[in-house]
Amino acid sequence: MFRRSFNRFCAGEEKRVGTRTVFVGNHPVSETEAYIAQKFCDNRIISSKYTLWNFLPKNLFEQFRRIANFYFLIIFLIQVTVDTPTSPITSGLPLFFVITVTAIKQGYEDWLRHRADNEVNKSTVYIIENAKRVKKESEKIKVGDIVEVQADETFPCDLILLSSCTVDGTCYVTTASLDGESNCKTHYAVRDTIELRTVESIDNLRAAIECEQPQSDLYKSLGPENLLLKGATLKNTKKIYGVAVYTGMETKMALNYQGKSQKRSAVEKSINAFLIVYLFILLTKAAICTTLKYVWQSTPYNDEPWYNQKTQKERETWKVLKMFTDFLSFMVLFNFIIPVSMYVTVEMQKFLGSFFISWDNDFYDEEINEGALVNTSDLNEELGQVDYVFTDKTGTLTENSMEFIECCIDGHKYKGVAQETDGLSQTDGPLPYLDRADKNREELFLRALCLCHTVEVKPNDTVDGVTESSELTYMSSSPDEIALVKGAKKYGFTFVGVQNGYMRVENQRKEIEEYELLHTLNFDSVRRRMSVIVKTQSGDILLFCKGADSAVFPRVQNHEIDLIKVHVEHNAMEGYRTLCIAFKEIAPDDYERVNRQLIEAKMALQDREEKMEKVFDEIETDMHLIGATAVEDKLQDQAAETIEALHAAGLKVWVLTGDKMETAKSTCYACRLFQTNTELLELTTKTIEESERKEDRLHELLTEYRKKLLREFPKSTRSLKKAWTEHQEYGLIIDGSTLSLILNSSQDSGSNNYRSIFLQICMKCTAVLCCRMAPLQKAQIVRMVKNLKGSPITLSIGDGANDVSMILESHVGIGIKGKEGRQASRNSDYAVPKFKHLKKLLLAHGHLYYVRIAHLVQYFFYKNLCFILPQFLYQFFCGFSQQPLYDAAYLTMYNICFTSLPILAYSLLEQHINIDTLTSDPRLYMKISGNAMLQLGPFLYWTFLAAFEGTVFFFGTYFLFQTTSLDENGKVYGNWTFGTIIFTILVFTVTLKLALDTRFWTWINHLVIWGSLAFYVFFSFFWGGIIWPFLKQQRMYFIFAQMLSSVSIWLTIILLIFVSLSPEMLRIVLRSVRRRSTRVHHLISSSA
């Protein structure tokens, strides 16, 4: 019987708050101890928002938090409680429609989440109980259960790997569903349990694990090499046994379900501003009518005519209360000026419109067999309003497909393929290098490339010790590492793989060398280097380190740097990615100390990352520099053309990269971010270190650059976009350390304004390159620009985990489905396969989405003002008696049925400019920038147009009614006929106005526009009792049919529709004439 305690997980520390103890197999460690089952959450995954019982109250609460819905609820309650001129149905039915449609949409989405949860929770798993494999549902797994997982199965919860079918206790895992990385990662079983490979032996295990409480970070975990995460998949390994440590909603995958912060578009903010304006108009109308009503009633005859005497109760009513109820009644009468149905139409437009991005075949990439992905549809129109684009370099502007170009050993350059007999040599360079490094140094360098990495060799490449080196398949999360291993292979040193904890290398003499892998000091974006500690066959312990020059140079001997530095800087100028290689020997006594420190740091339950970083920092010192490598990362297809198009569209493009300045600068020239005539302003460590006091030099440079730019550009920022093409272009280069100096400068008088001067410089530059950036600094840059005066719209695009912070910080986040995993695309608002797709996404889709939704918003306010203004004017002719102008059915169905579908179809299908034209002429993007279509000018135009048309509707019909008799039999038409004529003119005018605005006609547009008008006519006959005789008792009986029997009413309707649309038709004619004259002028000038 086994009695083990995994003390390695707590590294000898006492049990503390913030940890949990897990008993393997849910058995006590000691038979004498009483075992009390601990309470942990079950293994159910719940991503749904609602249950059957809380759906109604929870959904209603969320919907009524929206101001328009709450407003209409108040209006409905007023209609129910106060004697108002219109039925509660007129407000209640539209509100009910909006609430119901939204609830159905959200309920359906939640049902899909429930279904997905059930697929996971009800899946079959095998638990080891009483030395038997027991079949269970996934949701029945408890913390402490021993779970058996077979090849290609997904881990049902977070497991500690106890053993696998392999002798060395390793297994291969892919985490594509967690972070998108499709490469295989190697995990190792706990050393004490490697031998337990049968059901009987694993069930006899008696052990306890003390581990930290659940946390969401995928990359900070207890013994990450032992922990198998839920959602990851077992690959190339037949079977493993693991113990459940985190289950259900405490797994790392579940903890990462938490949604991103809600982003709001500029259009939404404009809608809220317009609502406030129209609410003010509503209150003003109600106040005017209430006041004038009491002015009218100040005459006794008007207040109490002989045919309408007041009751005793009405006479005794407090006058202030009566005035208040009259004010509320007028509010109810005019409340349709606030378009409640606009919200549901906007939601439908965004939701349905987002499919056009997913369906666009131009975004399809055959290499990854995927197209664009829309993670949120709330920001479609924001794609048409971008001012600043922040882009990563590696994997975004470049392919992230690395190719080994050359290397340098002790200052000697090596390029090309080696001769078999000669070892390492330069064969294809233009200049023959006769001198070479020492043979031992060459081999040491190549061994470092073969050992210092986390590359895995695909299994089955080695058979009985015989290596088919030509067929080796390498896998790694970093393309750089594979390029370096392949580079070493070119020169005769081949990494064969890891076997039983030994790294195997085939040297130039075809001999297999084995190195015991003692420790791997993994790469991270702060250290910017990684190391391995290995033990040779002769017993020597070596540390090999590779990393960025800035991370390695301070840790090696000074005299070794100069020879390598020249080559590193030259390679960076060529645009290559460079890494420096160093090593040191570790004495056995020193290794014992280092080993103890590493194990303690790895097993720490608190502050593990800080402790490991401290130990790594101590180990990676006093090294010896061997050489450097140069790897080429090719520019992505059409990256340069895309950046040129974005510049032409008036967008500022900033490159934020962790790469060194020379490499990034070369890439920026290659992708035309910097032109040959662009004057570069540098704020880097190199330019600032010229002075003894850095802050003084920084202030001096900032002041100098600002003066230069202010002389060149006009003060007005409005004309800045046009000025870029007319003046000298400037580009700014800044590195991470200088940015830290600017953002964290001391608060004395000399440096207090660093940030503001820096921002002034940035605003005047057409392009900015920020190099040596940490992920947090990328987010700081985006946040700084977001908070500029005028709140410019920012877009961030990247492909790696280090880009997630800036993607989440910006208004719009774009993820590239790249080779560094899918963290970026999972956290983004939109994901596209390549950087080139950004051009069409912004210039075509973004442009059209903005124009469509801006027109939708303006049109809704316009048609509702047209609707309510005649009702307001009617009060002046009915003694402010709150008499409705329209029938209740028309009030209810105006926004729901008669005018809703045409504008929805327009907002989904309209193309006022052809898509090819939008992508070929980026300058068109500038015409809609700055929320141009929802500014005060267009808003006032639509408002005055609605006021003009509403006035024409009312007074045109009013003058028609000056004739005492309109019918052949001498009958006089009444107030319901008067309201129906106005309503008919209204419906036809606002619908035909949309038809005039439509430039891109489809059969759907024709169907909904002419179909809506036909439905209105059909409904009016139906409501008037012609089609359905049972309605003959109501007040609209035969009104519509009788109205259409009059020729004068026909003529009036046609005439008033024409007069109402005349300003719009005049504007279309003038625009056409202007466009034609411009075209003629262009032809004349071009021929001349």
Catalytic residues: 392
Q: How far is CA 640 from CA 293, 671, 836, 1069, in A?
A: 69, 4, 9, 40
Question: Which has the closest alpha carbon to 903: 949, 954, 864?
Answer: 864
Question: Which has the closest alpha carbon to 594: 519, 503, 529?
Answer: 519
Both tokens of 244, joined, read 């459940």
Determine contact, residues 923/649, Cβ cutoff 8 Å. yes
How many angstroms separate the CA atoms of 489 and 468, rounded? 13
Both tokens of 12, joined, read 């000898």
3-class state of residue 682 by DSSP? strand
How many angstroms separate the CA atoms of 1043 and 1023, rounded? 14
Those residues whose C-beta lies under 8 Å from the C-beta of residue 599, and which sit 6 or more positions away, are 8, 11
Question: Which has the closest alpha carbon to 447: 366, 515, 386, 370?
Answer: 515
The Cβ-side half-sphere exposure at 650, using a 13 Å CA radius, reads: 23
Phi, psi of 694 (to 5 degrees): -60, -40
Determine contact, residues 775/805, Cβ cutoff 8 Å. yes
How many angstroms separate the CA atoms of 634 and 327, rounded? 70
- C-alpha 1036: how far from chain center: 53
Task: Give the position of tokens 């309920």.
Answer: 107
Those residues whose C-beta lies under 8 Å from the C-beta of residue 1084, and which sit 6 or more positions away, are none
Both tokens of 377, joined, read 């549809």
Both tokens of 8, joined, read 């390695």
Those residues whose C-beta lies under 8 Å from the C-beta of residue 41, and which sit 6 or more positions away, are 247, 248, 249, 250
Determine contact, residues 1068/998, Cβ cutoff 8 Å. no
3-class state of residue 429 by DSSP? coil
How many angstroms separate the CA atoms of 551 and 493, rounded? 26
How many angstroms separate the CA atoms of 885 and 80, rounded? 20
* b/e per residue 255-285 (b: at least 16 CB within 10 A): eeeeeeeebebbbbebbeebbeebeebbeeb
Determine contact, residues 461/468, Cβ cutoff 8 Å. yes
Determine contact, residues 963/973, Cβ cutoff 8 Å. no
* b/e per residue 205-237 (b: at least 16 CB within 10 A): bbbbbbbbebeeebeebbbebbbbbbbbbbebb
The Cβ-side half-sphere exposure at 189, using a 13 Å CA radius, reads: 25
Go through the chain and tell me how many residues it has: 1088
How many angstroms separate the CA atoms of 252 and 229, rounded? 7
How many angstroms separate the CA atoms of 834 and 819, rounded? 11
3-class state of residue 630 by DSSP? strand
**Radius of gyration of the chain from Cα atoms?**
37
Neighbours of 107 (CB within 10 A): 15
Question: Which has the closest alpha carbon to 683: 714, 664, 704, 668?
Answer: 704
Those residues whose C-beta lies under 8 Å from the C-beta of residue 151, and which sit 6 or more positions away, are 234, 235, 236, 237, 238, 239
Both tokens of 666, joined, read 């070369």
How many angstroms separate the CA atoms of 261 and 471, rounded? 48
